[in-house]
Amino acid sequence: MKTIEEKCFDLLESTNLNWSVSKIPLVTENGLKTESHGIFRNDSNIWLGTVGNNYIPLQNSELGMILLNSIEGLDIEFTRGGQLKEGKKVYLQAELKDETIGNSKVKRWITALNSQDGTTSVGFGSANTVVVCQNTFFRAYGEVQKFRHTTKMKERIAIAQIELRSTLQRDDQLMESFKKMADFPLKDEAIEKVVQRLFKIEKNKQLEDLSVQKQNRIADFADSLKMSVKEQGQTIWALFNGITRFVNHIAAPQEITRKMDYIMLTGGAQMMNEGYTLLRDYTDEQKPKQKVYEMRN
């Protein structure tokens, strides 16, 4: 049986994360010392970011060891991962059991995300992909600030164990909200709310009064929604899939690493999460269907 160190090595090798970083003091062109330090990859010497004197980087190997130690008692295993922006952000993922939402199978992963540019601490989130159309949605649950304030491995493992269990609960809640969307019929008012919010359109604004670029983007979204309705039926779940399809297949850059950055961290992530929150709240506000019982003599 492999040791946990060997498992960590294999994980980093398979995800192209088997590299480390160094924190190097920065000086001026005249050789004057500064209070700033640069974070550089040791394998390529690429500069990843500038940090202060007290910042201590969390190496990829440390992240791997923390996660592998923290899954004890959980039926999950970290097997996937990657990097964004040449390594400024790195992530590792553990696959969960597939769910069926509406007419589609949904693949699920718990994601641990860390920055190597000094901008954020470790964070956890949910990533899921609707298999039929390969729409990926990533929902981050915020940074774990405690990671910044301790360098002891035992304490970091304890923190990760708590955060992983919390993330699993949040992912279950996310699936429940998806199922609820699949039970609600699609209404024009919901589509209007989504278009107005995501494309920043004032209420009662006419389509012909918008810029040509915005009209084209709305037309592309309409096509995405049409395809999603064909797959999922006339439901709010189809509307959410219309949003994720538009982001994944139309708005996102085609180059894979830039696409993942867009979907997980930047514009696409913001659009999908805003759409999710809007539709989650919309379905929560609707009155539940009343059950009709037959009177029996």
Q: How many CB atoms lie within 10 A of CB 31?
A: 6
Q: Please, which contacts does 215-219 make with residues 24 or more away whose CB atoms are closer than 8 Å?
A: 217/251
Residue 292 scores a pLDDT above 70: no
Residue 291 scores a pLDDT above 70: no
As a whole number, mean pLDDT of residues 17-37 equals 94
Specify the pLDDT at position 294: 40
* 3-state DSSP assignment of residue 182: helix
Specify the pLDDT at position 297: 37
Model confidence at 293, pLDDT cuts 50, 70, 90, reads very low
Residues 111-151 have pLDDT tens digits of 999 999 999 999 999 999 999 999 999 999 988 988 877 77
User: What is the rounded end-to-end Cα distance, in angstroms, of the chain?
Assistant: 68
CA-nearest of 82, 133, 127 to 105 is 133
Model confidence at 287, pLDDT cuts 50, 70, 90, reads low
As a whole number, mean pLDDT of residues 21-45 equals 95
Model confidence at 225, pLDDT cuts 50, 70, 90, reads very high
Model confidence at 1, pLDDT cuts 50, 70, 90, reads confident
- Residue 48 or 208, more confident: 48
As a whole number, mean pLDDT of residues 278-292 equals 75
Burial call 205-214: b when 16+ CB within 10 Å, e when fewer = eeeeebeeee
Q: Which residues, other chains included, contact 59 with Cβ-Cβ below 8 Å and sequence gap of 6+?
A: 20, 21
Stated pTM of the model: 0.90
Distance CA 161, CA 69 (A): 9
Q: What is the DSSP secondary structure assignment for residue 249, as one 8-state letter?
A: I
Percentage of the chain lying above the pLDDT 70 cut:
96
Strand residue runs (E) in 47-172: 47-51, 78-84, 89-95, 99-101, 104-115, 123-130, 135-143
User: Mean pLDDT over all residues of the chain?
Assistant: 92
* 3-state DSSP assignment of residue 25: strand
As a whole number, mean pLDDT of residues 12-20 equals 98
Residues 226-266 have pLDDT tens digits of 999 999 999 999 999 999 999 999 999 989 889 999 999 99
As a whole number, mean pLDDT of residues 186-213 equals 89
